[in-house]
Structure 1
Amino acid sequence: MDESKVKKIIGEALDEIVRAAKGSGELVPIGLMSSGSELGSNELALGGRFAQEQYRFIKVVMIGPRIEGFSDLEWIETDDCEADIQKAMEEALREGLIKGAVALHYPFPLGVATVGMIYTPAKGRPLIISTSTGTTSTDRVEAMILNAIYGTAVAKARNIEYPKVGILNVDGAQIVYRSLKRLEENGYEITFGSTVRQEGGSILRGNDLMAGSVDVCVTDTLTGNVLVKVFGAYNTGGNYESLGWGYGPSVGEDWPYVISIISRASGAPVIANAIHFTAEVALAGLPSLVKREVTMAKDAGLEIVLAELRGKKEEKEVEIEPPKPEPTDEEIQGIDVLTIEDAVKVLWSHGIYAESAMGCTGPVIKVPSRFLVEAKQLLKEEGYL
């Protein structure tokens, strides 16, 4: 038999095996916008071709103006207009012509964000960044609590049964950690990971991003966006994102679609990875997994936790005069920078002189040694520790 025919038969057989392994026996159609890249439309189509060649269970459907030389890809043709491309993509999603989509831009409503994924150079493993575009809440701390839940859902969609979660050491991290611990104590199943640094704990440092010490890194969207950009293009000079999976699939409690975001500077390798990421979580039923994860968190008191945080934020500040100053020779760690001054005033109101300061691992409260035990107890009772 002719060698080319043998190869074709083997290729078709392998295709059938892959499709059968995916359960449905059918290709998974994923849409990809064909216009808007700073690197040119050919880069987008190349990314689509790479995805279709590497992942034989995926069928890439290009959406937008047709690009010559890519007849191996399926097309939904439109004018070279972002609004028309977006409309065609949305119609294809609603009609089930595609199971998910990869876009360079999408105006997500408030409450919906995307969960990205980076390639960690020290260990060569993926790290989920939750979140990297969109807005889960206008309040930073509330958003990060929701981001932990959404990031966990995405990890489970990637077949990580018990994803390890860590919180990046940004403003609000300690409050987020305490809130998530409270949900855990009330029955929400969350597995906390640990930093690679000697101090331990689930508050992550920059080292943890390099090493990928957890499965899910929780942060605010703006920080997450920067991380995906830096880790995607640190070895190319910045104008070409060559590593990673892009800014990830969309998540939201009642959001029904899987729309992933890539950058206008994303190169073909990242585009191909983003398509695979999208197909993977779409096959797993990401919107349903998100809904289930939020329901479990609500059963553990999520709405109460968020309401209490909003209430504390709205409380009027009361001026409290500090006690007579005295030497402070002990430090109390673990208090978030956003609440450090409020915590100091709590101690003042109980007659304990205290000062806020910044230690090498974060904010601290300095107190006289004779008040250390009492101060810690008060701060725990008031929810600062």
Structure 2
Amino acid sequence: MSENTAVKKIIGKTFREIADAIKTGNFGERIKVGITTLGSEHGTENIIKGAQIAAKDADNFDIVLIGPKVDTCLEIVEANTEDEMYKRMEELLDSGYIQACVTMHYNFPIGVSTVGRVVTPGFGKEIFLATTTGTSSAHRTEAMVKNALYGIITAKAMGTPEPTVGILNLDGARQVERALKELSANGYKINFAESIRADGGAVMRGNDLLSGTADIMVNDTLTGNIMMKVFSSFTTGGSYEALGYGYGPGVGEDYDRIILILSRASGSPVVANAIKYAAKVAQGKLTEVAKEEFIKAKKAKLDEILKGLSKDTKKAKADDEEVAAPPKEVVTGTVSGIDIMDLEDAVKALWKESIYAESGMGCTGPIVLVNEQKVEKATSVLAKAGFVAKQGDVC
């Protein structure tokens, strides 16, 4: 190699690093991203290959392998068992030697769950699935509200300042929608996505999931885990995850490690993408963003809203007495936006107000059927009781 060629390469690398620093806002030292190499169903070679792919584009970060010694130009911190590997990973993170790490089969504490990142097949759009592993809360609906916050935190760390949020149409979705709208009305701004289906709304269908309607799709963790596997391996038959960025970073209140999860079935392309994902959230200061977002959310009464979601709290407020149905009427009017778990309680709430009602299931989810002339009054009663969003709430 001539001296001029060597100089040109150095200059070119320098300019790339400057351009990347301007883009990411990271003008400090290069960061280090770790990846553990034991545990893959496709062997250690699969992980090493993914790391080497990522290293080709790693102008602003270095990769540290944590596992058995292998023949590679990448840095290795040696560990010969999975227990030793996880111990070394945590030591490297806590000491600050690495700023983030990608691993498999890691146990997060309750309150921490991961935000996955996939490419939707409809329009090739990247979206965040909140969440995909871990447990945000033992209470499912409360967990989904937290999952929305975790998705927002991750999207902001990735450089999207105002991500749109959609809620997958699952049991509890309407309760989650009401809680998030209340949080937004209290001052924690949430940008709700609008479904591509004709009736719109922030509650998303499978169509929206495929097309990537929302930047963040909120779901329970088990559903998110299944969706990650489907999106990642639908072209391979399921045994090899070839697409996407993995199951993402663990996010939670006061959680100060940046640990991203891969499936044991993740192939080398996903390994490479997960390492890049880790570098990006580390450069975006994920843990600092989380602290800031939790402060803002708590100012908007997050804790009070979460307490109100507890089923035990609702039962304590409800009367235990039997409620008799008013005289039967023709019920062709509908009130939607009620969670399936609250449907029968909503019917009884109307009976108490002498409004005859029946429960039903429409194409968009659970509905309460009332006389057409009483729809407005019934909606008002249900809104006051907290079964549907209050009139005037904005999506």
Percent of counterpart pairs with the same letter?
A: 43
SS, match of residue 131 in structure 1: strand
- CA shift for structure 1 position 10: 4.2
How far, CA to CA, are the matches of 1:199 and 1:352 in structure 2?
Answer: 26
Q: Does 1:107 align with 2:107?
A: yes
How far, CA to CA, are the matches of 1:48 and 1:313 in structure 2?
Answer: 52
Partners of 1:166 and 1:193 within 8 A in 2? yes
Q: Give runs of aligned pairs for residues 263-278 of structure 1, distance below 5 A.
A: 263-278=263-278
Moved more, 287-296 or 370-379: 370-379
How far, CA to CA, are the matches of 1:214 and 1:9 in structure 2?
Answer: 46
Q: Does 1:227 align with 2:230?
A: no
Partners of 1:19 and 1:26 within 8 A in 2? no
Q: Quote the residue 2:329 is aligned against.
A: 326
Q: Which of 14, 21, 45 does residue 12 from structure 2 map onto?
A: 14
Query: Relative to structure 1, is the Cα distance of residues 130 and 346 closer, same or farther in structure 2, using a 3 angstrom cutoff?
Result: same
- CA shift for structure 1 position 105: 1.5
How far, CA to CA, are the matches of 1:325 and 1:24 in structure 2?
Answer: 71
Equivalent pairs, count: 380
Aligned CA RMSD, in angstroms, stands at 1.6
Q: Does 1:312 align with 2:314?
A: yes
SS, match of residue 213 in structure 2: coil
SS, match of residue 152 in structure 1: helix
Q: Quote the residue 1:77 is aligned against.
A: 78
- CA shift for structure 1 position 138: 0.7
Partners of 1:165 and 1:191 within 8 A in 2? yes
Q: Give runs of aligned pairs for residues 40-189 of structure 1, distance below 5 A.
A: 40-68=43-71, 70=72, 72-79=73-80, 81-189=81-189
Partners of 1:15 and 1:57 within 8 A in 2? no
SS, match of residue 275 in structure 2: helix
Give the partner amino acid of 2:78.
E
Q: Quote the residue 2:208 is aligned against.
A: 208
Q: Quote the residue 2:289 is aligned against.
A: 289
Give the partner amino acid of 2:63.
V
Query: Relative to structure 1, is the Cα distance of residues 317 and 140 closer, same or farther in structure 2, using a 3 angstrom cutoff?
Result: farther
How far, CA to CA, are the matches of 2:227 and 2:136 in structure 1?
Answer: 18
Q: Please, what TM-score do these two structures have when normalized by structure 2? A: 0.93
SS, match of residue 49 in structure 1: helix
Partners of 2:340 and 2:366 within 8 A in 1? yes
How far, CA to CA, are the matches of 2:148 and 2:302 in structure 1?
Answer: 12
Superimposed CA distance per residue, residues 291-345 of structure 1 (whole angstroms, 9 cap, x where no aligned partner): 1111111101111111222221555662322223332221211111121111011
Superimposed CA distance per residue, residues 81-119 of structure 1 (whole angstroms, 9 cap, x where no aligned partner): 211100000000011111100001211000011110111
SS, match of residue 56 in structure 2: helix
SS, match of residue 374 in structure 1: helix
Superimposed CA distance per residue, residues 168-211 of structure 1 (whole angstroms, 9 cap, x where no aligned partner): 11111111111111111111121111111111111111111111
Unaligned runs of 5+ in 1: none
SS, match of residue 250 in structure 2: strand
SS, match of residue 132 in structure 2: strand
Query: Relative to structure 1, is the Cα distance of residues 124 and 88 closer, same or farther in structure 2, using a 3 angstrom cutoff?
Result: same
Q: Quote the residue 2:387 is aligned against.
A: 384
SS, match of residue 48 in structure 1: helix
Superimposed CA distance per residue, residues 144-169 of structure 1 (whole angstroms, 9 cap, x where no aligned partner): 11111111011111111111111111
Give the partner amino acid of 1:18.
R
Partners of 2:175 and 2:309 within 8 A in 1? no
How far, CA to CA, are the matches of 1:338 and 1:18 in structure 2?
Answer: 54
How far, CA to CA, are the matches of 2:47 and 2:55 in structure 1?
Answer: 13
SS, match of residue 24 in structure 1: coil
